[in-house]
């Protein structure tokens, strides 16, 4: 039963991590496409 729960939690955690990666990239992409008139920044996002 414990093993079953562990596998289930692992898969759910995986889904949450993938969604979190998608949100991280979304933030970076918005920063890039909204930086038109700025000088290149030091943050690595423009």
Partner 1 sequence: MDHVFSAAIVIAYLALLTFVAVRSRATQSGPSASPIGGLTDREFEEFSLARRSLPVALVFASLAATYIGPGFSIGFVGRGFKSGFLFLGIGLAYAIQNILVGLLIAPRLRGLSGCHTLGEAIGQKYDKRCHVLAGAISVGLCAGFAAVMAKAGGEVVHDIFGLPPALSVILVVALTALFPTIGGLRANVAADAFQFITFSLLLPLLLLLVLGFHLEGGAAAFAAQASAATIDGFNSTSALEIVGLVAAFLLGETLIPPYANRALACRTTAVSRNSFILAGLFSAVWFTVMIGLGVAARSIVLEDPGEDYVLLHLVKSTMPAKSYALLFVALVSVITSSLDSLLNAGAVAFTQDIVKPFVKLSDNIALKIGRGATIAVAAVAAAGVVAVPSIIGGLLICYTIWAPAILPTLIIGLWIKRPRPLAGLLSMGVGAVVAVTFQLAFSSATGVPAIIPALASALLAYVLGHYSSSIADCRFPIANRKS
Residue 42 binds partner 1, judged by CB under 8 A: no
Contact 46, 38 (CB under 8 A): yes
Residue 44 binds partner 1, judged by CB under 8 A: yes
Contact 46, 28 (CB under 8 A): no
Residue 7 binds partner 1, judged by CB under 8 A: yes
Residue 33 binds partner 1, judged by CB under 8 A: yes
Q: With the C-alpha atoms ordered 10, 12, 18, 23, is the resulting torsion angle positive or negative?
A: negative
| Positions in the binding site for partner 1 (CB under 8 A) | 1, 3-5, 7-8, 10-12, 14-19, 21-29, 32-33, 35-36, 39-40, 44-46
């Amino acid at each position: 039963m414990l093993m079953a729960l562990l596998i289930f939690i692992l898969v759910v955690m995986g889904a949450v991590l993938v969604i979190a990666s998608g949100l991280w990239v979304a933030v970076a992409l918005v920063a890039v496409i909204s930086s038109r008139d700025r000088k290149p920044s030091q943050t690595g996002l423009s």
